[in-house]
Amino acid sequence: MPLVEVTLAEGRTADQVRNLMREVHQAVLRTVDTRPEHIRVIVREVPRTHWATGDVTLTEMDAARAGQAGRDAGQQHDRRSEVPSDGVTPGDREFS
């Protein structure tokens, strides 16, 4: 009886988890000589606060990424809003 255990960080939808289970079941069925009713698939979801890599939790990584994305967006906005002291933007100069 094949038993496959998958551990994921929380955050997937019920449909995503169900599709994963279906795909794992099908992969085992294709590759192992067993009957479908003998295949066991267990999915364990771990809270993002309980999973760390390099002493940084997934929640902390998410927050750092969100903060960086916000800073990046702010920098892009700042560059777009820069107007030279003469009040003419580079795009305006092309048509002068």
Q: Which residue has the tokens 């002291």?
A: 85
Fold of 1-46: Macrophage Migration Inhibitory Factor (3.30.429)
For the entire predicted model, the pTM comes to 0.67
SS3 state at 44: strand
Segment 15-66, tens digit of pLDDT: 999 999 999 999 999 999 999 999 999 999 999 999 999 999 999 999 999 9
Report, as an integer, the average pLDDT of 68-92. Answer: 63
Decide: residue 44, CB within 10 A, 0-12 exposed, 13-18 middle, 19+ buried: exposed
Nearest to 26 by CA among 41, 45, 46: 41
- The residues annotated with a catalytic role in the active site are 2
pLDDT at 72 over 80: no
Task: Compute the C-alpha angle 45/47/48, nearest 5°.
Answer: 115
- CATH 3.30.429.10 domain span(s) along the chain: 1-46
